[in-house]
Every structure is written in C-alpha cells, then in structure tokens.
Amino acid sequence: MTSAVITGTGLFTPPHAISNEALVQAYNLWAEYYNSEHAAEIEAGQLEAKPFSNAEFIEKASGIKQRYVLDRDGILDPQRMKPYLPERSNEALSQQAEMSVSAARDALQQAQVDPATLDMVIVACSNPQRAYPAVAIEVQAALGAGGFAYDMNVACSSATFGLQAAANAIQSGQAKRVLMVNPEICTGHLNFCDRDSHFIFGDACTAMIIEASDQAHNQAGFEILGTKLKTQFSNNIRNNAGFLNRCDESGLGALDKLFVQEGRKVFKEVCPMVADIMRHHLAALEIEPAQLSRLWLHQANLNMNQLIAKRVLGRPATEVEAPVILDRYANTSSAGSIIAFHLHQQDLGPGALGHICSFGAGYSVGSVVLRKQG
C-alpha cells in the first residue's frame, strides 16, 4: 500500500499577544462594573456577584501565561469583552481562508510543492466561520489548487481526524497530495465574561502537506505509520451556536451561544481515556512507549499533558520529550498539537518515532504515530 508522508508544515501566529495580567485586569474591571450596576439585585439575592479573576491561579491551574489573538483591543475593552472581527464582503478573502493561506504557503514551501498540484484540501477546525460555501473551497481557489475540498469539525481533534482522512485518501488512491489546515479563531466563541474559562483559548492556524511517498520532493518528512480515532459522547464541553438559534421562541435562542465546559470533569475523564488509547495504538503497531522520541500532545492544560505523558511512558516526560507550547499560545483547539509538532521536530534524526495525540469536545481523541524519514 502507498504510504502517506507529512512533507511540510506551516504556522500562522496572530500579531497580538495578551498576557494573563492584561486579561485579568480587563475582566476584573468588567466584573467591578457589573457588580456596581447590579448592586441592588445582588444585595437582594436575585443575582450573584461576579467573582474576580487571578493571573497566578490561571498559570498554576493551566500552565498558560499568554495567548495570541487576532484582535486585542475588543477583548481588553471592559465595555465590550469580545474581539473586533468585522464581517468582510463576499468578494474579500474570509478571515479563516486568509489564515489558512498564510500557514499553507509555509507548508508548501517546506514540502517544495506547487499548489496547483494539490488534489485535496481539508479545512479542519472547531468552528468554521460560515455554513457554506466551505472555507476549504475558498482556500483551494485562493491557492489555485486542483481536485476537491471540504470542511470538517471534530472540535480539538479536527486536525488528527483530518490527518486520517488525508492518509486514507492517499492510501486508497483518491488523492496524491493533500493540504490540511486548521484555522482556529477560538476568541470568537469564548465568553470573556466567564472567570472559569476566559483565559483558556487563543487564535492560530496550522497547515500540513501530506503526500503519497512516491510523490514527495522532501525526503526528510514523517511517514504516517498509523492513525486511531475514538469518540464518546459527552456534554462536558459544549457550544450550542447554530443555525436553529434564530428559530427559538423562548428568547434563549437570541443569547450568545459560546464555549462552556465542566473543566474538572473533563480533566478526570479524558486523561485516562487518552493514555489508554495511545498505549493501545502503540501496542497495535508493535512499538514500545520507550521507543518514542517525542509526544506532541494536544495543548489544553499543562497538568493534563504531564499526567498523560507519565501514563504513556511509565515515568515523567522531559520538556524535550513532550514539548509545551500552551504557555505562549494557550489552547488553540485543533492547532495545538500541530503547533507543537511544527516547532519541535527539527532535531529528530531518520527513524525517530513520534506520537501526535489530540483530545477534546465530543469527547474525541485522535492518535497519529509517525516515523521520521531521511
């Protein structure tokens, strides 16, 4: 069977960063204003006072120190608490297509691939910015790619599920050269007025070129040895935004539908599930965890990653073995594990084995085992 090889990766990092301190200052100003505006209802027990946020708590609970965002001003304005991302005309490149093209150009260059020779484009992310036409088809047109394109969404696991779709298409002969991009605008659907979650996410876009091995110009890529996907329904991470919101008569439909989660439950339920899937996947490929040079894990929470890596390896992982990018990028949903891969693989020699694993809403887990070529 033809093997599928990752021959290029790219990353778009937004130009603005927000530190925990700046984010907390904006939130606390907003909370102070809310509490004074609603002092009478809070006093009468009709409303709860908004609690204050804390930068030290955020770093200790999550490992996050800052996040990159498409717009800083709107998020840090206590009168607004959401980014300014104005709708563009239909003639302009959409925000997600723009990020995708930027990350894709880097990946194409690394792979030494002419975009006209791409025959499949997948945009895989948590929140495609519109229903149709697919953002992927816009990206295909912007790059002058051939073949076909589609969007897919499996929340934080969108990229690994996209990798499996790309590898399957190559192995079945339906495609020879695939672009898979992950334009994550997490700040667009994050509630910056919620102390428990306002710090969790940032924006970024990653891209990968996946090719049939006999097509690859870059001989130092990563062969996909195997992919394993798992889903299990849970309401613990949810976003109810959708096209039926406007059809609701109760008034609830008019409210902003944003990211909500039971963070503690997610932590407890997802960690053992992920470690178990990773170990079983390695065993099925007859690979011992000790043979792995690198774990590129989903970047949601540092404590979570340390726990999962320890369960997989049977000992704590070093920072080189399980690189961390969430301190700078925060949780960028499906882009997180791919950013870790993009930034932390250049030192690996031919034959080195590595493991990408994503996990998140669904629940969904995507496990991809790679071997460095060269």
* Chain residues in the site for ligand CO8 (CB under 6 A): 53-54, 57-58, 61-62, 126, 155-156, 186, 189-190, 195-196, 199, 201, 237, 259, 261, 263-264, 266-267, 300-301, 304, 331, 333, 360-361
φ/ψ of residue 32, rounded to 5? -60, -45
**CB of 4 or CB of 64, closer to ligand CO8:** 64
Q: Return d(Cα 249, Cα 245) in angstroms, integer.
A: 9
Report strand pairing: 353-360 vs 292-297.
parallel
DSSP code at position 200:
S
Select 110 or 332, whichever has its Cβ closest to ligand CO8.
332
Residue nearest to ligand CO8 as judged by C-beta position:
360
Phi and psi at 194, nearest 5°, equal -110, 110
Q: Tell the smallest beta-carbon distance from residue 182 to ligand CO8 (Å).
A: 11
Rounded CA-CA distance 294/309 in Å is: 10
Residue 316: CB atoms within 10 Å = 11
The dihedral of CA 49, 53, 57, 63: what is its sign?
positive
Shortest approach of ligand CO8 to residue 281 CB, angstroms? Answer: 20
Residue 262 token pair: 């039971």
Q: Choose the catalytic residue: 125, 156, 186, 357.
A: 156
| Length in residues, the chain | 374
**Residue 156 designated active-site:** yes
**Cβ-based nearer residue to ligand CO8, 28 or 102:** 28
8 A C-beta contact, residue 160 and residue 358: yes
125 near 361, Cβ under 8 Å?
A: no
Minimum CB separation from ligand CO8 for residue 155, in Å? 4
Residue 225 CB, nearest approach to ligand CO8 (Å): 26
Nearer to ligand CO8, 94 or 333 (CB): 333
CB of 300 or CB of 369, closer to ligand CO8: 300
Minimum separation from the CB atom of position 372 to ligand CO8 (A): 29
Residues with a catalytic annotation lie at: 156
